[in-house]
């Protein structure tokens, strides 16, 4: 009898296990679609652009920046969850100096920030360096000012760690800089004196992207101050083998498809990514990717999934197979948004979703694209002054107001009626190329002539 009961119990248990396994298999085989796009994460506590960001032990730290009015000393952090999403943001320790347009690096037990700007429109360029200790739970201890500062004021410079040295590349210190400084990381985590290297970059780098990969430093894009546009040049270098703290001559490699500044760079696997920024007249949502070559440099760039919205001054973090885009600014201001995604086998960006979720995402994307293509302003060209990259258009609106626009170079003659969207407004702009100033001008990304209708409409 006992044997009979045991047999029945085993049969029932087996049936239950088969049923459970069948349910799991059903869940696992549920149809999923790869969606070229982004998922939304929790907004940051403070909407900021020009901040520094770093990931340590599964915690993303967002440090300093500007909120549209003031330069910030505050920081915040969020934890990466097992499913790749982020926890709500929490307040972190404040810097000793408010700063924006700078970068952060982590090495060993410490996170370092350096340079940047503060004051009206970032007019005060900084040389100071700060360090915070990484706690066991991934949070940061108090920030402390380092004894040694940069030799040159540097706003919008880039920091990278190569070997046992921190390097600072380019930036703005009254002029656009093509110089590099390095400092040795001492055993206690403090930094030795900074040294300005003789080896200069091939072009000045301001508001550029940077990345350390396989012991090499890569610098991408930046701003051409004369023409007011983004540059395409990409270059790389590495430490001199027997002279740590010094770099080999810089080598240019395949240029970006689109000149851009205010961009961010990222790496996943054997690929580099250049994300967003401005080309001069437009905020960009485009992303380019290129494969790293074994001996340095990259192969040809190609476009991949664009950002969820155009932006510059954002932060990009790659952790394992996830990529996070945090903050930044565009024509709508500083949204404080966070988007995240993954990578497929070809290096393209997106996420897996159910058919219903994929359909909903595509519908929302189509709606945003239709709104983006709508050009809400109209005016008539009064004069067209052509430069290398722009047409400077004086236009008259229907209410009689006259204004200046700068947009993609065109041959549209005076008298042409055009449509255009809102753009980047600048006051007291001086064009070095034209050698003339504009009290107010709006840089726009697209100019579309209005089709004139015939007598039959």
Q: What CATH number did the domain enclosing 392 receive?
A: 2.40.50.140
Domain match, 362 and 411 both: no
Residue 29 lies in a domain: no
- Phi, psi dihedrals of residue 329, rounded to the nearest 5°: -140, 160
Domain that holds residue 388: 377-449
Residue 80 lies in a domain: yes
**Ramachandran class of 77: left when φ > 0, alpha when ψ lies in -120 to 50, beta otherwise:** beta
Cα angle 426, 232, 117; round to 5: 50
Domain match, 207 and 314 both: yes
pLDDT at 332: 76
Closest C-alpha to 393, from 353, 338, 448, 321: 448
Residue 291 lies in a domain: yes
* Burial tier of 21 (Cβ tally within 10 Å: 0-12, 13-18, 19+): exposed
Domain match, 336 and 401 both: no
Closest C-alpha to 283, from 446, 419, 171: 446
List Cβ neighbours of 291 (8 Å cut-off, separation of 6 or more): 270, 271, 272, 298, 299, 347
Domain match, 188 and 262 both: yes
- CA-CA distances (angstroms) from residue 23 to 3, 4, 12, 150, 236? 30, 29, 17, 61, 52
pLDDT at 376: 78
- The residue assigned the tokens 């694209």 is 369
Domain match, 184 and 64 both: yes
Q: Which structure tokens are listed for 47?
A: 């909407």
pLDDT at 214: 95
- Are 238 and 272 in contact by the 8 Å Cβ rule? The answer is no
Domain match, 315 and 438 both: no
pLDDT at 452: 65
Domain match, 286 and 413 both: no
Domain match, 119 and 235 both: yes
Last residue of a domain, one of 353, 370, 387: 370
Ordered per-residue pLDDT tens for the chain, 457 residues: 444 444 334 334 344 333 433 343 334 446 889 999 999 999 999 999 999 999 999 999 999 999 988 999 999 999 999 999 999 999 999 999 999 999 999 999 999 999 999 998 889 999 999 999 999 999 999 999 999 999 999 999 999 999 999 999 999 999 999 999 999 999 999 999 999 999 999 999 999 999 999 999 999 999 998 888 899 999 999 999 999 999 999 999 999 999 999 999 999 999 999 999 998 878 899 999 999 999 999 999 999 999 999 999 999 999 999 999 999 988 778 889 999 999 999 999 999 999 988 888 888 787 777 766 667 789 999 999 988 778 899 999 999 999 999 888 889 999 999 988 777 777 888 888 888 899 999 888 788 898 765 555 4
Domain match, 226 and 307 both: yes
Burial 256-270 (b: 16+ CB within 10 A, else e): bebbbbbbbbbbbee
Q: Running DSSP on this structure, what letter comes out for residue 155?
A: B
Last residue of a domain, one of 307, 335, 370: 370
Q: Report CA 140 to chain centroid distance, whole Å.
A: 23
Q: Which long-range contacts (CB under 8 A, 24 or more apart) does 175-178 make?
A: 175/204, 176/204, 176/205, 176/206, 176/223, 176/225, 177/152, 177/204, 177/205, 177/206, 178/202, 178/203, 178/204, 178/205
Residue 8's H or E segment, with its range, is: helix 2-28
> In 352-433, which residue ranges form alpha helices assigned H by DSSP?
355-373
Domain match, 343 and 216 both: yes
- Are 335 and 288 in contact by the 8 Å Cβ rule? The answer is no
Residue 307 lies in a domain: yes
Residue 20 lies in a domain: no
Residue 320 lies in a domain: yes
Residue 12 lies in a domain: no
Residue 437 lies in a domain: yes
Domain match, 287 and 415 both: no
Domain match, 300 and 406 both: no
CA dist., res. 55 & res. 139, Å (int): 10
Where residue 261 sits, what CATH number does that domain have?
A: 2.120.10.80
Please tell me the total count of domains within the chain: 2
Last residue of a domain, one of 321, 350, 370: 370
């Amino acid at each position: 009898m006992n044997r009979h009961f045991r047999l029945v119990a085993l049969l029932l248990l087996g049936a239950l296990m088969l049923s459970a396994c069948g349910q799991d298999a059903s869940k696992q085989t549920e149809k999923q679609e790869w969606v070229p796009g982004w998922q939304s994460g929790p907004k940051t506590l403070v909407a900021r652009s020009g901040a520094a960001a770093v990931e340590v032990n599964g915690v993303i730290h967002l440090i300093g920046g500007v909120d549209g009015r003031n330069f910030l000393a505050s920081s915040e952090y969020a934890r990466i969850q097992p499913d790749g999403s982020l926890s709500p943001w929490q307040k972190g320790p404040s810097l000793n100096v408010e700063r924006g347009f700078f970068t952060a690096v982590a090495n060993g037990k410490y996170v370092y920030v350096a340079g940047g700007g503060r004051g009206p429109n970032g007019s005060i360029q900084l040389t100071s360096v700060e360090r915070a200790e990484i706690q066991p739970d991934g949070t940061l201890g108090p920030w402390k000012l380092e004894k040694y500062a940069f030799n040159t004021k540097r706003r919008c410079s880039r920091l990278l760690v190569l070997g046992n040295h921190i390097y600072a590349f380019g930036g703005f210190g009254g002029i656009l800089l093509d110089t590099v400084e390095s400092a040795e990381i001492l055993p206690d985590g403090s930094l030795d004196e900074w040294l300005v290297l003789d080896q200069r970059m091939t072009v000045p780098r301001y508001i550029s992207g940077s990345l350390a990969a396989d012991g090499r430093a890569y610098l991408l894009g930046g701003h051409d101050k004369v023409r007011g546009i983004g540059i395409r040049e990409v270059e790389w270098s590495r430490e001199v083998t027997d002279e740590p703290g010094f770099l080999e001559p810089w080598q240019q490699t395949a240029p970006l498809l689109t000149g851009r500044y205010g961009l961010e760079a990222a790496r996943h696997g054997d690929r580099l990514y250049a994300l967003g920024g401005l080309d001069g007249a437009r905020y960009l949502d485009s992303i380019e990717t290129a494969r790293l070559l074994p001996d340095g440099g990259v192969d040809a760039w190609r476009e991949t999934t664009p950002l969820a919205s155009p932006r510059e001054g954002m932060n990009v973090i790659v952790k394992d197979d996830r990529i996070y885009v945090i903050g930044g600014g565009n024509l709508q201001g500083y949204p404080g948004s966070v988007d995240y995604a993954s990578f497929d086998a070809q290096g393209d960006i997106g996420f897996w979703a159910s058919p219903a979720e994929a359909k909903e995402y595509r519908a929302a994307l189509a709606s945003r694209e239709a709104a983006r293509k709508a050009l809400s302003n109209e005016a008539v060209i009064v004069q067209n002054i052509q430069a290398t990259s722009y047409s400077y258009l004086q236009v008259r609106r229907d209410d009689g107001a006259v204004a200046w626009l700068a947009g993609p170079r065109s041959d549209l003659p005076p008298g042409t009626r055009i449509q255009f969207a809102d753009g980047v407004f600048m006051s007291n702009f001086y064009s070095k190329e034209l050698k003339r100033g504009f009290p107010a001008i709006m840089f726009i990304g697209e100019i579309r002539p209005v089709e004139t209708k015939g007598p039959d409409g």
